[in-house]
């Protein structure tokens, strides 16, 4: 991936941009913006604005309704290591600010309306792979690391002043994923060191270290009630942990290749996992039983996301497609095809590649063909075929 050549970046905005029942539906408009592949996307809480970050270090904030950029900024630059990638973007809970994390070892906070740089968070000594706002928006957690030189960097910041509040010490490998518990009191991290850790965000102390995976852990997700934590690993397994005791409640075995992403349904009853084995699996979160396997991708799947109502499931794959599934039947609803196939260089560039708008009506998918495509996720195949 690092040696790949990228050309012709654009953002494709369309209410119908997919293949429904074998029929190709053309995009309604194409917006040019980035000059390199798009690594991350985020939708603002009101669903009207979308942010994208790319390999070229640029962040663009888009007006979804008017299909135009609100602002474009060179957010992250080469700090001497030859890389400028924007690895993560996230809106604050109130949607007023946007945070971006980059390969240049910095995190920046932007005014979501004007694009004005508000704050720079300095303190990391390695690329920032992940970031997350606390539920109240007052704090920002960031994670990174590069090999043995700068392993396991996790920091907590005041999101208003950029003051470093805490450094969480304990991981011995890169931290790929960070997530706040629903009540904002705990922080979960997933690391290359094969562990998942649960931290107290007030003291910075490790509450629990969850051992059980035999290879790197790429993703963590809390259940809506915060009682369970799911983890996805390079060891081909998904594990469900009791967040009170730190013990594995259910090992979910069934994937035959590394698992990159996990997501709980909004009601917490189901768990979805995405794997390099080309499948998406749905699990019963109460008993660990496999509900169904979604087949259709022709290459590894790196990301899954439930719609806010839990009725749809989206998956993004290295086969250069994003698929939309009926979460009850497992039927494929839509397939969106990107133009160029390419491999991502690290787990951090896979995390935010597909996301629903808060109302569930739109789905945004970022492709390594340098495009983001937005289409109507509420339409059925029959409705699309009538267009």
DSSP string over 198-216: EEETTT--EEEEE---SS-
**How far is 138 from 93, CA to CA, in rounded Å?**
9
* Per-residue pLDDT at 31: 52
Cβ 344 vs Cβ 332: under 8 Å: no
Domains and CATH numbers, the chain: 11-17+31-386 (2.130.10.10)
- CA-based Rg of the chain, rounded to a whole angstrom? 19
Per-residue CA distances from 94 to 25, 241, 290 (Å): 35, 30, 37
Q: Token match 């007052």: residue? A: 138
* Per-residue pLDDT at 28: 43
- pLDDT tens, the chain, 387 aa long: 223 222 223 344 433 334 454 344 444 444 568 888 888 889 999 999 999 998 889 999 999 888 789 999 999 988 777 788 999 999 999 999 999 999 999 999 999 999 999 999 999 999 998 999 999 999 999 999 876 666 789 999 999 999 999 999 999 999 999 999 999 999 999 999 999 999 999 999 999 999 999 999 999 999 999 999 999 999 999 999 999 999 999 999 999 999 999 999 999 999 999 999 999 999 999 999 999 999 999 999 999 999 999 999 999 888 888 899 999 999 998 887 766 545 544 554 454 578 888 999 888 877 665 677 777 777 654 455 454
167 Cβ neighbours under 8 A, 6+ residues apart: 123, 153, 154, 155, 156, 204
Q: Are strands 372-376 and 11-13 parallel, antiparallel or unpaired?
A: parallel
Per-residue CA distances from 316 to 85, 261, 267, 298 (Å): 20, 10, 22, 11
* Per-residue pLDDT at 364: 83
- Whether the predicted model's global pTM rises above the 0.85 cut: yes
Q: How big is the CA angle at 224 (ends 53 and 290), to the nearest 5 degrees?
A: 95
């Amino acid at each position: 991936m690092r040696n790949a050549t990228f050309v012709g970046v654009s953002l494709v905005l369309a209410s119908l941009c997919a293949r429904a029942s074998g029929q190709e539906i053309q995009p309604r408009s194409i917006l040019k913006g980035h000059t390199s592949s798009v690594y991350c996307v985020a939708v603002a809480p009101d669903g009207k604005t979308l942010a994208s970050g790319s390999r070229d270090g640029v962040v663009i904030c888009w007006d979804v309704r008017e299909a135009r950029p609100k602002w474009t900024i060179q957010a992250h630059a080469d700090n001497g290591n030859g890389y400028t990638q924007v690895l993560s973007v996230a809106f604050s809970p109130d949607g007023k600010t946007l945070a971006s994390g980059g390969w240049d070892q910095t995190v920046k906070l932007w005014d979501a309306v004007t694009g004005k740089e508000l704050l720079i968070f300095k303190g990391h000594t390695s690329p920032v792979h992940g970031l997350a706002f606390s539920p109240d928006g007052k704090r920002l957690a960031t994670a990174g690391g590069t090999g043995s030189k700068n392993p396991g960097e996790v920091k907590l910041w005041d999101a208003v002043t950029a003051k470093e509040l805490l450094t969480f010490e304990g991981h011995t490998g890169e931290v790929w994923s960070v997530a706040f518990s629903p009540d904002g009191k705990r922080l979960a991290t997933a690391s290359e060191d094969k562990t998942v850790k649960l931290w107290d965000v007030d003291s910075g102390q490790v509450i629990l270290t969850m051992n059980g995976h035999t290879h790197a852990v790429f993703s963590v997700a809390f259940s809506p009630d915060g009682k369970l934590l799911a983890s996805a690993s390079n060891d081909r397994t998904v594990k469900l942990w009791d967040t009170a005791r730190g013990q594995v409640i259910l090992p979910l075995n069934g994937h035959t290749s590394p698992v990159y992403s996990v997501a709980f349904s909004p009601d917490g009853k189901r768990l979805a996992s995405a794997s390099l084995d080309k499948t998406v699996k749905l699990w019963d979160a109460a008993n660990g039983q496999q509900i169904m396997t979604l087949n259709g991708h022709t290459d590894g799947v790196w990301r899954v996301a439930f719609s806010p109502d839990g009725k749809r499931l989206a998956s993004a794959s290295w086969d250069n497609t994003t698929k939309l599934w009926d979460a009850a039947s497992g039927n494929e609803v839509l397939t969106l095809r990107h133009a160029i196939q390419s491999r991502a260089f690290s787990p951090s560039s896979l995390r935010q590649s597909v996301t629903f708008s808060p109302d569930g009506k739109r789905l945004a998918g970022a492709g390594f063909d340098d495009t983001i495509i937005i289409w109507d996720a509420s339409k059925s195949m029959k409705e699309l075929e009538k267009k």
